[in-house]
Amino acid sequence: MNALPLCASCHREVPAGARYCPACGWDLRDGRVRPPTGLLPANQLLHNRYRIMQKLAQGGQSAVYLVLDTVDGGKQRAIKEMSEANLGPVEREKAINDFMREAEMLRTLDHTALAKVYDSFVDSHKHYLVMEYVRGHNLEDELIETGRPLEWERVAKWGCMLCDVLGYLHSRVPAIIYRDLKPANVMLLPDGNLKLIDFGIARWLHPLRAHDTSQLGTDGYAPLEQYNARSEPRSDLYALGASLYHLLTGRIPEAAPLRIAGQSLTPVRSINSRVPEPLERVILRSLNLQAQDRFTDAQQMREALEWAILQQSQGAGSPAGNMPGMGPAPRAVNTGSIRPHNGSGMGRAVGSGAVPKLQVRPLRLDAGYLEMDDVAVLLLEVANQGGGNLRGRTETNLACLSVEPPILDANAATLQVRIDTTNLVPGPYTCHLAVRTNGGDQIVPVRFVVRPPLGPSHQGARYSGR
């Protein structure tokens, strides 16, 4: 049996064909050490200034730490760390350029709903961005911890706040398109204010450029034009409408490509009857598939949200007057096919028949750290909160994710969500599982991190239920 090759740096055995040493991170091709991100220990002094307190988050090719600035009176800061580990030359260059673009962009901004940037530097082949530490938690966690759709009054107020910050970004010269607005990227501060975080895929709008540099965004929140790499300011308004929809219903709206193919957009009030009809009208307007049928800008959407709040505060049984700047009630022709509802919130269709109403718990699955060539199984509960018989199917967006049973034909079921890390490279992953039924749809994020191997690859299996 042939002996395995040795790393030129630490002299340990490495798997045949490996690009990096699993023990020390040495690049076996060009002789550089590129350790993975997220490994800085507590109390380490970074850049002779920032003392690591704890890791706050990790995802993609970056991690975020809470640090103390020892030069500026021990003030708390957040440091975003980007790693070059496991990236080839082309990928590495793009990742660095994106990171530096984010730093340059944030330095030019000054708004109470945006985190300030204080510094950036390079240390041990990693790029760092020093930012304002934002206390609180994101709106997705607020929804999950509450365990039910959020109060419409809070959501409408948040919508106005987010219109303000989007209007600020879109008014820059050139305009900045955020491109990834969703509850997970909005921090809720202890005082009730919001901050928009993670500008990793934001870009400047160049009028002479026909396409974005890449197709980015998140299914359910991204508008149709973003799938064709053609984002513009009204693309962010679609994502804002989708975010409000999610917070008010507990569900991510049906993805734009599915809607253009004929998939129904479930009305907000058929899921949550407490949402006032004027507010639903504003959200449906923002979710038009064609950009020209949405609000013209963030200020107009803010005025429409204020109008919806006012309509409800006046106790009107139905909206009086027209939505600001939009003339008559919004047309449904470009929202995709919309299921009718009677506003009862109890899943009763017009007529005597009872209709199903999908409920999925939990709304997010986290498998934590997994080894390479590992298998984990998580549990997802599906129930019918309406009448009739719930039927449907499940879909996943990555081959490493599978669900048993794939077909639903009962009003209550426990789905086994299987994650197989075979052939996956080390790093964090976010997959999506869609439960599509005659009682509505729900998209569930599935998150996990594949650990780098400590030695030659091995196989293992484990079972965990949530």
Q: Which residues are catalytic?
A: 180
Q: Are 164 and 303 in contact (CB under 8 A)?
A: no
> CA-to-CA distance for 65 and 192, rounded, in angstroms?
23
Q: How far is CA 408 from the centre of its chain?
A: 27
Radius of gyration, CA atoms only, the chain: 24
